[in-house]
Amino acid sequence: MGKNVNFTLLTMLYLFIYIVASPNSTIDKNALLAFKAQITSNPNKILAKNWSQETPFCNWIWIGITCGKRHQRVRGLNLANMGLGGIIAKEIDGLSFLRSLIISENSFYGFFPDEMGNLSQLQEIEM
Ligand SMILES: *[C@@H]1O[C@H](CO)[C@@H](O)[C@H](O)[C@H]1NC(C)=O
Ligand SMILES: *[C@@H]1O[C@H](CO)[C@@H](O)[C@H](O)[C@H]1NC(C)=O
Ligand SMILES: *[C@@H]1O[C@H](CO)[C@@H](O)[C@H](O)[C@H]1NC(C)=O
Q: What is the pLDDT of residues 75-88, one digit of tens each?
A: 999 999 999 999 99
User: From the alpha carbon of 93, which atom of ligand 3 is closest?
Assistant: 1
Give φ, ψ of 99 to 5 degrees: -110, -30
Contact status, residue 70 vs residue 94, Cβ threshold 8 Å: no
Is the Cα dihedral 127, 73, 57, 116 positive or negative?
negative
From the CA of 96, the nearest ligand is: 3
* Gyration radius (Cα) of the chain, Å: 16
From the CA of 48, the nearest ligand is: 2
Ligand 3 contact via 118 beta carbon (within 6 Å): yes
pLDDT profile of the chain (127 residues), mean per 10: 76 68 79 96 89 91 93 94 95 96 96 94 95
Going by alpha carbons, the residue nearest to atom 7 of ligand 2 is: 61
Strands 65-67 and 100-102: unpaired
Structure confidence at residue 85 (pLDDT): 95
The whole-model pTM stands at 0.80
What domains sit in the chain, N to C, each tagged with a CATH number?
A: 25-126 (3.80.10.10)
CA distance 115 to 9: 27
Residue count (the chain): 127
Structure confidence at residue 71 (pLDDT): 84
